[in-house]
């Protein structure tokens, strides 16, 4: 039976409870030569696994990396347990008010994914909305093969979920399986029979032979005009100490740009950060 608003049919990861906003930024210095980095699950799978290794190889600065949702990663910076975070959602007004700063560095398509080899290739944006709100239950209803639709979603606390909901509209998502971590949907889609569908950063699956990214209205995730997108960014607090400044600078380097492009995403030019 499908579920709306009730968690969870299946949980892949142990829950991490982010700390709330405290309104103050604890004083915690950066260990010399080490960057404490709280990394979004989507950003890690799309980019940071390779990026942090390249950064250390080129600078000699070690990175102590932890992973979680975008909200959790931002909270790690806010509460002084990390000097820098990555996120697939923008800061809110309260976070800016207490001094957090963000550095957008990558435009990342949000891919609609199915298991490869199942004959599911394309859907319209309206059909995707119908699938994820429970209006259709078989791929034949949207011009596909005779397969039951199995909807897999990440937790509503994740940036992937929030970014997708922004495009779908106000209706509740109706789903069969859910993963606490955004990237957990990839394993769930692999494990399900043909017909399973979900969404995740394209950079996390663009070289995965077991996963197919659907065309939407004929557009692949890498095409101009593709409708589902999100922005990845770094988040810091206070003035940047030298290792953290080097880490932020490196995300705009030619090497980082090449890694972003390798995973089917678009590097963004450096801008004056939001405060």
User: Which tens digits make up the pLDDT trace of 55-72?
Assistant: 999 999 999 999 999 999
The residue among 75, 86, 84, 91 whose CA lies nearest residue 20 is 75
In tens, the pLDDT along 8-18 reads 433 333 333 33
Asked if residue 114 and residue 96 are part of one domain, the reply reads: no
Average pLDDT over residues 139-151: 97
Please give the pLDDT value at position 217.
97
Q: How many domains does the chain have?
A: 2
What b-and-e string marks burial along 124-152, b requiring 16 or more CB atoms within 10 Å of the CB?
eeebbbbbbbbeebebeebebeebebbbb
CB 74 within 8 A of CB 37: no
Which is it for the CA torsion 203, 204, 209, 214, positive or negative? Answer: negative
Is residue 22 domain-resident?
no
Is residue 222 domain-resident?
no
- Rounded distance between C-alpha atoms, residue 114 and residue 214, angstroms: 7
- Rounded distance between C-alpha atoms, residue 38 and residue 44, angstroms: 10
Is residue 261 domain-resident?
yes
Asked if residue 112 and residue 80 are part of one domain, the reply reads: no
Asked if residue 58 and residue 40 are part of one domain, the reply reads: yes
Asked if residue 67 and residue 42 are part of one domain, the reply reads: yes
Q: How far does CA 216 lie from the centroid of its chain?
A: 19
Is residue 170 domain-resident?
yes
Place of tokens 């959790």: 72
Asked if residue 259 and residue 159 are part of one domain, the reply reads: no
What b-and-e string marks burial along 36-75, b requiring 16 or more CB atoms within 10 Å of the CB?
bbbbbbbbbbbbbeebbeebeeebebebebbbbbbbbbbb
In tens, the pLDDT along 153-193 reads 999 999 999 999 998 888 889 999 999 999 999 999 999 99
In tens, the pLDDT along 74-124 reads 999 999 999 999 999 999 999 999 999 999 999 999 999 999 999 999 999
Cα separations in angstroms, 202 against 211, 248, 268: 10, 23, 16
Give the DSSP H/E element, type plus range, for residue 211.
Answer: strand 211-213
Please give the pLDDT value at position 271.
84
* Residue numbers of the domain that contains 89: 34-107+231-267
User: Which CATH number covers residue 191?
Assistant: 3.40.190.10
Is residue 38 domain-resident?
yes
Asked if residue 250 and residue 175 are part of one domain, the reply reads: no
Is residue 2 domain-resident?
no
Asked if residue 178 and residue 203 are part of one domain, the reply reads: yes
Q: How far does CA 111 lie from the centroid of its chain?
A: 10
Asked if residue 103 and residue 57 are part of one domain, the reply reads: yes
Helix axes 254-262, 49-59, angle to 10 degrees: 160
Q: Which residues contact 238 (CB under 8 A, 6 or more apart)?
A: 25, 99
Asked if residue 177 and residue 120 are part of one domain, the reply reads: yes
Q: How many CA atoms lie within 13 A of 171 on its CB side?
A: 14
Asked if residue 66 and residue 163 are part of one domain, the reply reads: no
Is residue 169 domain-resident?
yes
At 23, the pLDDT band (50, 70, 90 cuts) reads very low
Asked if residue 206 and residue 141 are part of one domain, the reply reads: yes
Q: Which tops the pLDDT comparison, 164 or 25?
A: 164
What b-and-e string marks burial along 88-111, b requiring 16 or more CB atoms within 10 Å of the CB?
bbbbeeebeeeebbbbbbbebbbb
Asked if residue 202 and residue 178 are part of one domain, the reply reads: yes
Q: Is the pLDDT of residue 28 over 60?
A: no
Please give the pLDDT value at position 223.
97
Is residue 180 domain-resident?
yes
Average pLDDT over residues 216-231: 97
Q: Which residues contact 49 (CB under 8 A, 6 or more apart)?
A: none
Cα separations in angstroms, 252 against 107, 258, 272: 13, 10, 13
């Amino acid at each position: 039976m499908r579920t709306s608003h009730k968690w969870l049919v299946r949980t892949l990861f142990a829950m991490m409870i982010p700390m709330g906003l405290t309104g103050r930024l604890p004083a915690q210095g950066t260990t010399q030569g080490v960057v404490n980095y709280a990394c979004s699950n989507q950003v890690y799978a799309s980019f940071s696994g390779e990026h942090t290794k390249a950064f250390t190889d080129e600078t000699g600065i070690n990175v102590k990396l932890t992973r979680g949702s975008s909200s959790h990663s931002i909270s790690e910076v806010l509460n002084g347990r990390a000097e820098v975070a990555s996120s697939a959602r923008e800061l809110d007004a309260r976070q800016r008010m207490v001094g957090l700063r963000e550095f957008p560095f990558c435009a990342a398509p949000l891919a609609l994914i199915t298991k490869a080899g199942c004959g599911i290739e394309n859907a319209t944006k309206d059909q995707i909305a119908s699938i994820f709100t429970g209006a259709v239950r078989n791929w034949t209803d949207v011009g596909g093969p005779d397969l039951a639709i199995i909807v897999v979603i990440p937790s509503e606390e994740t940036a992937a979920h929030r970014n997708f909901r922004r495009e779908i509209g106000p209706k509740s998502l109706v789903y069969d399986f859910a993963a606490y971590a955004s990237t957990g949907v990839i394993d769930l889609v692999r494990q399900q029979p043909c017909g399973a569908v979900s969404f995740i950063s394209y950079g996390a699956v663009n070289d995965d032979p077991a996963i197919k990214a659907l065309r939407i209205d004929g557009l692949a995730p890498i095409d101009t005009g593709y409708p589902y997108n999100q922005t990845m960014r770094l988040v810091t607090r206070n003035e940047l100490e030298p290792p953290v400044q080097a880490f932020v600078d490196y995300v705009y380097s030619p090497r980082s740009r090449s890694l972003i492009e390798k995973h089917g995403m678009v590097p963004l030019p450096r801008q004056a950060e939001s405060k």
